[in-house]
Amino acid sequence: MTDPTSLGIGQVGLGSITGAHREGYRLYGQPVVAGFDPNPEARARFAAEEPAAAVYDTLDGLLADPRVGVVDVATPHHRDTRLPVVEQIAAAGTPMLIQKPLAYSYTDALEMVSAVERSGVPAMVNQNMCFVPGSLRLIDALMKDRVVGEPSFAEVTVRYVFDLPDHPWFGKDDRWWTGALTVHHFGLLQLLFGPPETVYAVTGRDESQPGVTIDGYGHLLLRYPNGMNVAIISTGTYYGTDRVPHGNEKIWVQGPDGLVDWRPEEGLTRSRRTDSGFDVSRVEWDRDRRWFPDAFGLTMAHFRQALAAGETPLCAIHDNLYVSALIEAAYLSSVENRVVPLAEIMGDRWNPTYGTGWSHGFTKWAPPAVVGVQA
C-alpha cells in the first residue's frame, strides 16, 4: 500500500489543455508539484499558475524530482513526440496518466503498450469521459445497479459543428474525428461493454468546412461477442437546428429490464415496461459539476487511489489498446467498405472473452469531495 500523499503530480507537456487539468486537480485536491515542457513560454505560463511547483527544462530533471510520484503526460499524440516520452518515463519506473487518444494508429499504440509492459510500470489513459460526474451516475446505474439487466443495444449521438481553421493540427492530421473526438465515447463504451467483435464505419468530411481537411464525421455500427449492438452517430459537420454537442451527447442503453436515457449535463432517466404501461424515474446530480474541469480532477484522483491501493486502474493502458484497435478498424472499414473484425487488427492480442473494461479495473475507488474553488 502506497501513501497517496507521496504521489505528487509532474506534468509533462504544458499546452493549453493542461490548464484544464490543473483546474480539475485543484478542485479535487490533486497536488501538482512539477512541470516540464521544451517550450519556454509554456514553462513560464505554468510557473505563473503554479508558483509552488518546480519547473524543469528537461524530462530527466522532472523524473529526478523526489516529489513526483505520478506523471501527467499531455504531449501531442504523434508518435515522434509521445513515444520517446512514454519510453523514458517507463524506464524511470514512474507511473503515468497519458492523455487520450493514446495514438491514432494501432501500431503506434502497441509500441507504447509494449514499452510500458516491459517496464512493469502502471499506466492509465486519460479517457476522462468515464470520470465526468454524470458519467459516474451512468456507470453506477448500468454496472452496479444493473437497471437494464444485460445490455442488448445502445446508441450514441453527437451532432454539431467543430471547426478550428487556425489550429496547427486539429483536423489536419491523416486522421481526425473518429480518432480524436469519438475516442471519448469509445473509452466509455469499452468500460461499459468491452471491445466489439466487429466494426462497420463510414467516415468523411464536409468539403465546405475550412479547418478540417480530413474526416469530420464518423458513423459506426459495433457488434459484440455476446450479441449486443451499438450504433454511433458522430459528426462535427452539422450546422442545422437540432444540435447535440460533445459534452452533452445523447446516449441510451436498452436491456431486458429497462432503458436508460442519459446526457452528461441533463440527468438520467430510467424507463421500464409494466403491466399498465411504462414506469419512468429520474436520477439528478449537481449541475455545477461538469466535464470541464471536474472530469480531469476525478480521473487523476482515481489513478492515484489505484496506485495507493496497488490496484489496476480503470482505462489502464493495456485495456485501452482495444480502443486503439477500434479506431484502426473504423478507418479500415471506411476505406474498404466492409465489416472489420478487431481480431484482424489485434492478432493474438484479441481476447473474445475479455468482457467489460469495468471488470478489469479498480472499481472500489471513492470519488473525492470538492475541496478547491473553480476558476
Looking at residue 4, what is its pLDDT? 57
Contacts of 129 by beta carbon, 8 Å cutoff, 6+ apart: 135, 184, 185, 187, 188, 264, 291, 295
Full 3-state SS string of 79-112: HHHHHHHHHHHHHHCCCEEEECCCCCCHHHHHHH
Residue 91 binned pLDDT confidence (cut-offs 50, 70, 90) = very high
Looking at residue 356, what is its pLDDT? 98
One-letter amino acid of 228: M
Nearest residue to 20 (alpha-carbon basis) of 295, 247, 372:
295
CA-CA distance, 47 to 53, in Å (whole number)?
7
Looking at residue 169, what is its pLDDT? 80
Mean pLDDT of the residues in the chain: 95
| Cell, residue 250 | 445523447
3-state secondary structure at position 172 = coil
Nearest residue to 291 (alpha-carbon basis) of 12, 4, 14, 17:
17
Residue 2 binned pLDDT confidence (cut-offs 50, 70, 90) = low
Tell me which residue has cell 482505462.
Answer: 315
pLDDT tens track for 315-324:
999 999 999 9
3-state secondary structure at position 74 = coil
Residue 283 binned pLDDT confidence (cut-offs 50, 70, 90) = confident
Contacts of 294 by beta carbon, 8 Å cutoff, 6+ apart: 24, 27, 28, 132, 133
| Cell, residue 261 | 436515457
Looking at residue 3, what is its pLDDT? 58
With contact defined as beta carbons under 8 Å apart, do 65 and 91 qualify?
no
With contact defined as beta carbons under 8 Å apart, do 91 and 66 qualify?
no
CA-CA distance, 366 to 336, in Å (whole number)?
45
**For the packed helices 40-49 and 17-27, what is the interaxial angle rounded to 10 degrees?**
20
Looking at residue 77, what is its pLDDT? 85
* Range with lowest mean pLDDT among 198-212, 250-264, 271-285, 320-334: 271-285
Contacts of 260 by beta carbon, 8 Å cutoff, 6+ apart: 138, 141, 142, 147, 148, 252, 253, 254, 268, 269, 270, 271
Residue 102 confidence (pLDDT) above 90: yes
Nearest residue to 129 (alpha-carbon basis) of 13, 290, 344, 335:
290
Residue 366 confidence (pLDDT) above 80: yes
Q: What is the DSSP string of 41-57?
A: HHHHHHHHH-TTSEEES
| Cell, residue 238 | 452539422
* Range with lowest mean pLDDT among 5-9, 43-47, 101-105, 206-210: 5-9
Residue 294 confidence (pLDDT) above 90: yes
Residue 266 binned pLDDT confidence (cut-offs 50, 70, 90) = confident
Mean pLDDT of 64-82: 94
Q: What is the pTM of this model?
A: 0.96
pLDDT tens track for 244-265:
999 999 999 999 999 999 999 8
Residue 1 binned pLDDT confidence (cut-offs 50, 70, 90) = very low
Percent of the chain with pLDDT over 70: 98
Residue 300 confidence (pLDDT) above 60: yes
Tell me which residue has cell 471513492.
Answer: 366
Looking at residue 375, what is its pLDDT? 62
3-state secondary structure at position 61 = helix
One-letter amino acid of 253: V
